[in-house]
Copies of this chain bind each other. A is one copy, B any other.
Amino acid sequence: MIQKTMGPVNMELRQLQYALQIAAERNFSRAAEKLHIAQPSLSQQLSKLEKELGVLLFQRNTSTVELTHAGASFMEQAQKIMDAVELLRQEMSDISQLRGGKVVVGSMPITGAHLLPHVLPSFKRKYPEIEITLLEDSSMNLEKLTAGGKTDLSLLALPLLEPSLAYEVIGEEDIDLAVPEGHPLAERTNHGKPLPVRIEELSEESFIVLKKGQGFRKITFDLCQQAGFEPKVVFESSNMETIQSLVATGMGITLVPRFISRSSRSEFVPVYLPLAEPVPSRTLVIAYRRGRYLSKAAEAFIETFRETMRELVK
């Protein structure tokens, strides 16, 4: 990091503003009035400024006030500075008023592909000036990224492994079963509707699951364990969409979050069956660093996400 030795800045914006006002009015008393200060204060501040600069800015006696050449070039540059200051104030004001800003959001590929497309348009509509940057990764990596401050928020599912993360629940997502067409479980219907499947019934099935580091893999294993068996894994993929295709082609079965089973559009689509009560679900949350102040923009994103989820679940 380059150390810029900045000399002591004794000059202050107030003094620039005072000088500019005097230049505009060409009269100390009137300038002081507009600045809501007394005339002697203005004289004092200007003298101080001139003394510090080592330059006379105004040629003045008791009757006339006019710029020196030095004063003229001072005013030119001072005005640029004040304009830049005004711009800075405006930018900060925009951010605090949600008319600007930036949020870096992490999400798993699954949710990125299936949930965010619903959220982002309405967020953009509501806060057109807030920039959203998306970062897709596995849930494990996302937790690390968020814990390390690389993202402001991450869309994740419980449980979180990183203890430094806090979260807000944004919704429950039911879990379905995916089987190949013609699978015996898909044939059990009641008035044409498939019957719910109990997880225990899957103990002898071949499972296709996500690779390690992806949260939903653990959810699958936990559900099977709760049902009293260890799933027989015949294939692993890091891509949930790929798994759907593999199931469709008859290589095995899998558990899948509802938002995926709802919107699968690829060529090879498996059959989705509901699971029996109590329907297993995963809790979707937006996670962020514990103890951290969330920017208003980030809060607005969370709020919009929640609203959108409520709409989706209807």
Contact = CB atoms under 8 A, between A and B. Distances in A.
A4 B213 CA distance: 55
Contacts of A293: 56, 59
A56 B13 contact: no
B91 A81 contact: no
Given A11-B13, A13-B13, A101-B69, A149 B88 contact: no
A269 B140 CA distance: 99
Interface string A41-69: 00000000000011110010100001011
A91 B69 contact: no
Contacts of A297: 69
B295 A70 contact: yes
A85 B11 contact: yes
A58 to B, nearest CB: 10
A95 interface: yes
B61 A291 contact: yes
A59 B13 contact: no
A88 B82 contact: no
A59 B88 CA distance: 19
